[in-house]
């Protein structure tokens, strides 16, 4: 799931919340993006889950790669289905790196990436596949302005979520339910409850915290992104669902936290797990 915030007001009314959910978000991950005037931060967890034929959730790995740098100019974070065929999404993206020219800006990069990955997805699974979708957070610059773009696969669509001129915060993945409760005051399942009318949703929206991201420096944005994921991981060790649906919660967020930033000068890793012998940017 995804939520955004304006630069100097609360995250927004629940009516807006329902309209800006990431359409392709998945259950087993957490990506967080924070935009300031100075640059863009993306942080991810490293847990990879799988569902057994019996429906049980298992932790498959705590060292999955969900964030990569492309040409030292773009950041790509991955949420949803972890691979196309037998190849992880990050490997697919790295193989495509040479197909982008050095003059390609963030919007051109996002659109071409969406097209190439969607084509590969449909070739592998077919046009009418019921396989889970893939959501990407893609960050970079165009004409001196940073943009965070949502890419949906296999839909092949893109949209700009925030810019450095209009800072904001977004997140994707079921782990975001804890962030929602901390920042919004209640998770999206409450907002989607049909027993609430529009006035009720507006009342719920008044409980949201204010994030003056237009005045937050990049260093603090890094701390915010890491805190969001770290808090989710630590809470997940103790939370076992809720009173009505305890079986629906699974510890889908965990492992090391990868963090990188992109500024007009390019990408820079702030924190990255060590994977011996593995080449990834």
User: What is the percent of the chain with per-residue pLDDT over 90, rounded to a whole number?
Assistant: 50
Mean per-residue pLDDT, 18-26: 34
Which of 1-15, 29-43, 99-113, 193-207 is the least confident region? 1-15
More confident residue, 240 or 144: 144
pLDDT for position 238: 78
Whole-number Å distance between alpha carbons of 66 and 75 = 10
pLDDT for position 243: 65
Which of 46-60, 74-88, 153-167, 259-273 is the least confident region? 46-60
Q: Which domains does the chain have, with CATH numbers?
A: 14-271 (3.60.20.10)
The whole-angstrom distance between residue 119's C-alpha and the CA centroid of its chain comes to 22
Q: What is the pLDDT of residues 166-209, one digit of tens each?
A: 999 999 886 677 888 888 777 777 767 777 777 877 777 676 77
pLDDT exceeds cutoff 80 at 252: no
């Amino acid at each position: 799931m995804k939520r955004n915030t304006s630069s100097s007001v609360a995250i927004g009314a629940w009516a807006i919340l329902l309209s800006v959910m990431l359409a392709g978000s998945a259950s087993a991950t957490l990506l967080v993006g924070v935009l300031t005037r100075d640059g863009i931060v993306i942080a991810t967890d490293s847990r990879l889950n799988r569902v057994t034929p019996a429906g049980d959730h298992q932790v498959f790995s705590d060292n999955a790669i969900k964030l990569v740098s492309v040409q030292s100019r773009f950041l790509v974070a991955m949420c949803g289905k972890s691979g196309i065929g037998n190849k992880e999404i990050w490997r697919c993206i790295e193989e495509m790196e040479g197909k982008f020219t050095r003059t390609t800006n963030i919007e051109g990069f996002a659109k071409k990436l969406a097209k190439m990955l969607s084509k590969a997805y449909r070739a592998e699974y077919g046009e009418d596949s019921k396989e889970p979708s893939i959501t990407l957070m893609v960050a970079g610059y165009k004409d001196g302005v940073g943009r965070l773009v949502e890419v949906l696969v296999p839909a092949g669509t893109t949209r700009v979520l925030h810019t450095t001129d209009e800072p904001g915060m977004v997140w994707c993945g079921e782990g975001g339910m804890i962030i929602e409760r901390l920042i919004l005051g209640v998770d999206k399942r409450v907002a989607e409850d049909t027993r609430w009318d529009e006035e009720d949703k507006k009342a719920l929206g008044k409980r949201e915290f204010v994030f003056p991201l237009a005045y937050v420096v990049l260093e603090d944005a890094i701390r915010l992104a890491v805190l969001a994921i770290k808090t989710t991981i630590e809470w997940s060790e103790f939370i076992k669902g809720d009173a009505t649906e305890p079986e629906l919660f699974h510890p889908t967020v965990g492992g090391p936290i990868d963090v990188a930033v992109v500024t007009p000068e390019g990408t820079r890793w702030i924190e990255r797990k060590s994977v011996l012998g593995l080449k990834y940017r």
